[in-house]
Chains A and B, each alone.
Chain A
């Protein structure tokens, strides 16, 4: 199946630990993203990469470090986890289309629910 897949789906960990979430897309898209969705469902962009190059880096604590080994993969590593990091993290990908029929359609993964105790 063509998709954006992220692992793990659920992650429960203690404060202070370090954890990683992995994302892979087989859609052939050039751009990948990490979004954070908090308990109120608010979706906020964190990072985007285009062909392994960091493009968008929002105001995110430097405990969060994305890594893109190739354009099909974008991983998120979080150091020294805090209670406020509890959220659902969504990976997404897109193939930007310019011109008069321009679009930037995001294809999201199913999300990784991180719970910090």
Chain B
């Protein structure tokens, strides 16, 4: 089955700097790659997703890149702000059906230093 590895497990950056979180997946048939943000005491919430027919996607300060050949995808957050502090999860899924399992990475705890 699919396996998603995520690095780093913790990341601390100065406010205003950029943060990058990297993930790799094992199943070359995976075609949907969402990123979720989990704030303290809450459930994860989707912040951005990318499909395998796209190499890059951007939404304001957040961007995601996908390298299908290397089976890598990354989350980039620019101009970090205190409210970006949270645990971030990458995930991978094959197909778009109710039987498609969304497999999560192990999470990255991002801390923004003032």
Contacts and interface: CB of A to CB of B under 8 A. Distances in A.
A104 B42 contact: no
B69 interface: no
Contacts of A109: 43
Contacts of A96: 96-98, 100
B96 A102 contact: yes
B73 interface: no
B46 A98 contact: no
B53 interface: yes
B11 interface: no
Contacts of B102: 45, 104, 106
Nearest to B44: A108
Chain B, interface residues (CB within 8 Å), range? 20 to 34
B75 to A, nearest CB: 16
A29 B84 CA distance: 29
Contacts of A106: 34, 36, 44, 46, 102
A105 B46 contact: yes
A96 B34 CA distance: 13
A79 B97 CA distance: 30
Interface stretch (A11-19, A36-44, A61-69): A36-44
B107 A31 contact: no
Interface in B1-38: 31-32, 34, 36, 38
Given A105-B34, A108-B45, A100 B89 contact: no
Given A43-B104, A108-B43, A108-B45, A98 B96 contact: yes
Interface of B: 31-32, 34, 36, 38, 41-46, 49, 51, 53, 87, 89, 93, 96-104, 106-107, 109
Interface of A: 4, 30-31, 40-45, 48, 50, 55-56, 90, 92, 94, 96-106, 108-111
22 contacts: A31-B98, A42-B104, A42-B106, A42-B107, A45-B101, A45-B102, A50-B99, A56-B101, A96-B96, A96-B98, A98-B96, A98-B97, A101-B51, A102-B32, A102-B51, A103-B34, A103-B96, A106-B34, A108-B43, A110-B41, A110-B42, A111-B43
